[in-house]
Structure 1
Amino acid sequence: MRILVIEDHRDILANIIDYGTLRGCEVVGALDGLTGLHLAVTGSFDAIILDVMLPGMDGNQVCKSLRENSGSHIPILMLTARDDLTDRLAGFKAGADDYIVKPFALSELYARIETITRRAAGVKRRVLQVHDLSYDLDSLEVTRAGSRLKLNPTNMIFLEILMRKSPSVVRRRELEEALWGRNKPDSDSLRSNIYLLRQTLDKPFDVPLLHTHHGVGYRLHGPR
């Protein structure tokens, strides 16, 4: 299991990492909300342990951003020093899966992590994610930075292939065969569809995701 821990108290962070490592987990730590959010969006984790009180960006803001802006379904366990109902409700409203109050036993912390990851695995949706672009294969909903995108059926097929292969280059022939097989249209339909896809995916946003490799194909990837 790969776990991200976002906790500004160095001793608590070190204890959680050490205990998790002894249990055979790969544990990555972050000392502030912005760093933790970046790691959560760009990395691959099975669960997140998230402190509420963090410098720069608090835990509720991080959790809300992951759920609403990034479309992340990673199980999140919130840590807090305050056992107040209002605080707990705020965490759940932001998208947390569970809550534990400091001080806590490390054995209980990891038992809760195992519980929420099992629960998530049972209802896990098929979601493709590249940077802030999300494609739910069950609902066919495509979002970027929390905004829903409207794509035609052809571009939905292209997008799925590009996201599954990301960050690799997908050759033109592979995209053409996926849609038209051997009956490729006479006109340059692929280029036209890629143009429309780029207009929807990239034009309204600051960071381009769809890149052309001239003479080869196309690649979908976020900033490095």
Structure 2
Amino acid sequence: MRILLVEDEPAMASALRSALTRQDMIVDHLATRADAEAMLSESRGIYDAVLLDRQLPDGDGLDLVRRLRAKGDTVPVLMLTARGDLIDRVAGLDHGADDYLGKPFAFEELLARLRALLRRPPGMRSDTVRIGRLSFDFVHRETRVAGQMLAMPRRELLVLESLMRRMGRMVLRTFLMEAVFGLDDEIQSNALDTHVSRLRRKLAEADAGATIDGIRGVGYLIRETT
């Protein structure tokens, strides 16, 4: 899961980024509305959600939401704001924000609201998808084989999540790289292949009934084994 955090207060941004990273999320941080709009325009839909402060140095974050929705961008947006009045909350929701959280807030509440926004991947009829004996719960971000929890490191979890969201389709290397690594990560040329190899081995050892196939230089897909 990859999140774009748009927050100009350094302490708040650092705390949120650290807390979300501990929840196995990739977090990219920007401090202005203009930078966020440029990133969202260039990123080809890589973000699962945007955490957007309303009061930014170069204007109202709500203007960014309006512009995104006018362009047909449906990325979920959770507004973060010190403005707690009902009229401001209503304005945010009416102009395309998906949820609105006033500062100060408990991180547990933010996380719960974020989970609600991401509860179901677009086009899927269930919060959990299955292939072979493997299942992935998108709400709790848990992987199980025949009902038994399968623990894995954050990067492998992100690879699997991306593949399961697009089960049966080839997922391009560029998309996987963007889903697994943040803007500030130092990435070696074989980093993605290493994570996929470890994940493939882990699925085989767990007898998951699923494996990952790849086309060199193109991408990967997850399929059921026979």
TM-score computed with the length of structure 1 as normaliser: 0.52
2:48 paired residue among 23, 46, 49: 46
Match of 1:101 in 2: 102
Change (3 A) 1:119 1:96: farther
Q: Root-mean-square deviation (CA), in Å?
A: 2.3
- TM-score by length of structure 2 reads 0.52
Deviation by residue 1:29-57 (Cα, 9 ceiling, x = unmatched): 11111111111222210000001111113
Name the CA distance, whole Å, in 2 between partners of 1:73 and 1:123.
16
Counterpart residue number, 1:173: none
Unaligned runs of 5+ in 2: 126-171, 175-226
| AA aligned opposite 2:67 | S
Aligned partners of 1:17 and 1:29: how far apart in 2?
8
Identical-residue share of aligned pairs (%): 38
Q: Deviations over 1:154-211 (max 9, x none)?
A: xxxxxxxxxxx9x9xxxxxxxxxxxxxxxxxxxxxxxxxxxxxxxxxxxxxxxxxxxx
Which ranges in structure 1 are unaligned for 5 or more consecutive residues?
125-164, 168-224
Q: Could you say which structure has the greater relative contact order, defined with CA pairs below 8 angstroms and 6 or more residues apart?
A: 2
Deviations along 1:85-127, one digit per CA (max 9) or x if unpaired, are 1111111122000111100111211211111111563689xxx
* Structure number with bigger Rg: 1
What amino acid sits opposite 1:80 in the alignment?
A: T
Q: Which residue of 1 aligns with 2:62?
A: 60
Q: Conserved in 2, the CA contact under 8 Å of 1:76 and 1:97?
A: yes
Inter-CA distance 104–122: structure 2 relative to 1 (3 Å threshold): farther
Instruction: Give the aligned partner of residue 5 of structure 2.
Output: 5
Distance in 2 separating the partners of 1:10 and 1:102: 15
Q: How does 1:6-21 map to 2 (within 5 A)?
A: 6-21=6-21
Q: Distance in 2 between matches of 1:122 and 1:79?
A: 27
In structure 1, how many angstroms separate the alpha carbons of the residues matched to 2:59 and 2:124? 29
Residue in 1 that maps onto 2:88 = 87
* Larger helix fraction of residues: 1
Counterpart CA distance in 1 for 2:98 and 2:83 is 17
User: Residue 118 of structure 1 aligns to a residue in which SS?
Assistant: coil
